[in-house]
Structure 1
Amino acid sequence: MIPERCKVEQFFGEWDARVEHVACASDVDGLSMRELLQLADPETMALWEGLDLGYTDTLGHPLLREAITEQYARMTAAEITVCGGGAAEAIFLLANVLLEPGDHALVVWPAFESLFRIAPALGATATPIELDAENGWRLDLDAVRQALRPNTRALFVNFPHNPTGALPTRHEFEQLLELAREAGITVVSDEVYRGLEHDPDAMLPAACDVDEQAVSIGVMSKAYGLAGLRVGWLATRNKRITDAARVLKDYTTVCAAAPAEILALIALRAGPRLIERSRRIILSNLPIGESFFTEHSDAFEWAAPKAGPMAFPRLRLPVPVDEFVADLAREKGVLFLPDTIFDMTDNRLRLGLGRSSLPTALERVDDYLASRAVPTGS
């Protein structure tokens, strides 16, 4: 089973080392090791200093799983499975557990590639449920309902959403889970940006707390600024899914890296401080990004995000977004992500709000547009 090549990883593999400013990152500025260790309590510091670099618990360190449960209302440590390959491994495991040849899945669209490229490689089909760009990237529940088939087995969702920053209301999210429950399908909820809502009161409940058949996916990469740890997890009260995923996991990462687990434990115990740090970076960049794209309204159509470290403005210039992105990267060392990576043709680009270097990057974009005599919007 070999999926199509992952466009986003190929894209960053081509450009990352060639630019000074990655203005399309899906995460926030990473913490340094020094910063993270300064957050350790006496117990976790003792674990770090006395760490044995052998194999770890295949399900995840017991203290780590206990710390993960603090994010949920109804989960126990026994229902958490730590993935040493991050959220991508969790998605891979779940797709393999839930889908067989001839099955059907629904995927909220646009989507992180793992959410839709694995299904076809398994002999299943995936139907995109497009968010409504004209209405603030709204999720259309009727479209979900109409796309259901007798062989639909799973619904893959991602809120807060990558790349649009969309976020449904709590009522809409609970309606979605109820619709899936009535249809007898499993919701796989990619919640890696949970906690990064621009309005904290808008945070959705975890799917695994609302529906005992649903699965929630989390990771240290996004809200915590620790992508290098590669620690993710899946959480569900569905024992059949948990058992099957753990069997398959013995053939993928087996266990997480011992240092990464203890560092993740340190971070989770200081979780509110790290999430607040991430939100502070995002919210300081949000008005800067909005002002820039509004000022250049002849070149871009701004679409305000509701959550997470990304926005998805549309390029209005008479040039394909791929060409614009490549030329900007070569000329000014600033990298945006074109919507073609998401198999879209709407001439949009992903903006990352999680890097403190964004204001400097946008100054370079301003210079680039001025050098091409692109007028400033009124």
Structure 2
Amino acid sequence: MRIPEFKLERYFAKWEFHAPYLLCSSDLEGWRMGDLLALADDDARERWERLGLGYTESTGLPALREALAGLYPGVAADQVLTFAGAQDALFAALNVLLGPGDHAVVTWPGYQSLYEVARATGADVTLLRLREEDGWKVDLAEVERALRPETKALVVNFPHNPTGALPDADTWRGLFALAEARGVYVLSDEVYRLLEYDPRDTLPSAAELSPRGVSVGVMSKAFGLAGLRVGWLATRDAGLLARCAAFKDYTSLCNAAPSEVLALIALRARERVLARSQALLADNLTRLDDFFARRGELFSWVRPRAGSVAFPRWKGPGPVEAFCQSLVEREGVLLLPGGVYDFPGEHFRLGFGRTNLPEALARLERFCDTLPQR
């Protein structure tokens, strides 16, 4: 396999553990071990205390798969397969679904794995561009035009990274209708699901909507547990799930035993865990609304509808890469320029799931005050 360098991850490798203010992180503030263990029910506490550090079941701890299935009405525990993070799940699913001669349609801008892994399988890939002037909305007519007789997979990511876009219910179901009519799988990266600002906007998962729907999730985003490296995919297609399980034998094989139990604790206490996440995002988003209202001369702001990231556009002097470089060097605040997505324009990813956002935003404001007045 030949696959290009992962630009986003190389960018983070340079800055993530050196910049004190990560104003572009996609994950939420991580839970502390003691606070998470305090949420454990009696069964999970006993599992933790008697945990053996041997290999785990390759498909995932049965109790964990049962808890994950609870996120998807109509999906059973044996229709869920765990992985070492969502990246592992995406890698397996794309390699199982696609190969030479196949075609995939992938939303863009987006997480590089969604289209580069697809290309690395030998498949042809059409990027489905989302546009700022349309509010980052997906256009069903463009989707229909992009589909071909050899299309095997429609790869989507909603709530969307990096824009925070979310389709309305009719558009979402329209995507699946187009795919169903052509026998196309919908691989849905749903790692930001359950971070909708209005619960009424929460969309049915791909695994619920279609027998060819494949939902990918992770503990990193909505649950604030990136350090566990627990992801999963859910699908009612037993054959596809079996092929993904066999492919996984060549990647992570199985999850870390402590991570599985800690994920189980969080899932069983998900109402409290998600309430913490929602409160943090709501507070930070209010601060961002105020900031961008004051700084309209420097930034274009399409307010996200869900998730923990947004994709503003830099309108100030110089290219966005120079702006991001100067900001991190002078104020220690890291933003992610849109060039890591190979996306044209002057956009940058902004993440607002961390508790130190007020300090980071104050430093960004101070930096903006030093810019020459127009």
8 A contact 1:285–1:353 mirrored in 2:
yes
Is 1:266 aligned with 2:269? no
* Structure 1 residue identity aligned to 2:279: R
Give matches, 1:67-86, under 5 Å: 67-83=67-83, 85-86=84-85
Residue by residue, what CA displacement relative to the aligned partner does 1:126-172 show, whole Å, maximum 9, x if unpaired?
A: 11111232121111000000011111110110111100000001111
Q: Deviations over 1:214-269 (max 9, x none)?
A: 10011100000000000010100111210110111111111101000000000100
Query: What's 1:13 paired with?
Result: 13
| 2: CA distance, partners of 1:95 / 1:110 | 18
Q: 2:203 aligned with 1:204, yes or no?
A: yes
- The 8 Å contact of residues 132 and 140 in structure 1, kept in 2 or not, is answered as no
1:337 aligns with 2:336: yes
Tell me what 1:165 maps to: 164
Give unpaired runs (5+ residues) of structure 1: none
Task: Provide Cα deviations, 1:265-311, integer angstroms capped at 9, x if missing partner.
Answer: 00100011111111110110111111112211111111111000111
Contact 1:48 1:259 in 2 (8 A): yes
User: What SS class does the counterpart of residue 17 from structure 1 fall into?
Assistant: coil
Q: 2:23 maps to which residue?
A: 23
Quote the offset at 1:52 in angstroms: 0.7
Size of the aligned set, in residue pairs, is 374
Counterpart in 2 of 1:44? 44
Quote the residue 1:251 is aligned against: 250
Q: Does 1:118 align with 2:117?
A: yes
**Deviation digits for residues 97-152 of structure 1 (CA, Å, limit 9, x no counterpart):** 01111211000111111101112211112111112321211110000000111111
Q: Secondary structure at the match of 1:260?
A: helix
The Cα of 1:44 is off from its aligned counterpart by 0.4
Deviation at 1:374, TM superposition (A): 4.1
Check the 8 A contact 1:294/1:301 in 2, yes or no.
no
Q: Secondary structure of the equivalent of 1:18?
A: coil
Q: State the 1:36 CA deviation.
A: 0.6
Q: CA RMSD in A?
A: 0.9
Is the partner of 2:16 in helix, strand or coil? helix
Question: For residues 19-73 of structure 1, what are the alpha-carbon distances to aligned partners after superposition, in whole Å with 9 as ceiling and x for unaligned?
Answer: 1100011011000101110000111000000001111111000100000011011
Task: Give CA-to-partner distance per residue, 1:56-100, whole Å, 9 cap, x none.
Answer: 1110001000000110111111111011x2100110001100111
Structure 2: how far apart are the matches of 1:170 and 1:25? 28
Distance in 2 (CA, whole Å) between partners of 1:183 and 1:330 is 50
Task: Please identify, of 36-45 and 365-374, the stretch whose mean Cα deviation from structure 2 is larger.
Answer: 365-374
Partner of 1:93: 92
Shift of 1:210: 0.8
Q: Give every structure 1 segment of 4 or more consecutive aligned residues whose post-TM-superposition deviation is greater than 3 Å.
A: none
Distance 1:283 1:27 in 2: 15
> Residues of 2 paired with 1:355 and 1:238: CA distance?
37
Q: Which amino acid aligns with 1:195?
A: L
Q: 1:87 to 1:374 in 2, by over 3 A?
A: farther
**8 Å contact from structure 1 (residues 82, 232) kept in 2:** yes
Identity rate of aligned residues, in percent?
A: 46
Amino acid at match of 1:365: L
Unaligned runs of 5+ in 2: none
1:195 CA drift (Å): 0.6
SS in 1 for 2:215: strand
TM-score norm. by structure 1 comes to 0.97
Q: Distance in 1 between matches of 2:373 and 2:299?
A: 11
1:128-147 equivalence runs, <5 A: 128-147=127-146
Tell me, yes or no, if structure 1 residue 55 matches structure 2 residue 61.
no
What is the TM-score normalised by the length of structure 2? 0.98
Q: CA deviation at 1:373?
A: 3.2
Residue identity in the other structure for 2:180: R
> Which amino acid is 1:299 matched to?
L
Instruction: Name the amino acid aligned to 1:164.
Output: T
Secondary structure of the structure 1 residue equivalent to 2:17: helix
The AA in structure 1 aligned to 2:368 is: L
CA distance in 1, matches of 2:2, 2:255: 23
1:185 alignment counterpart: 184
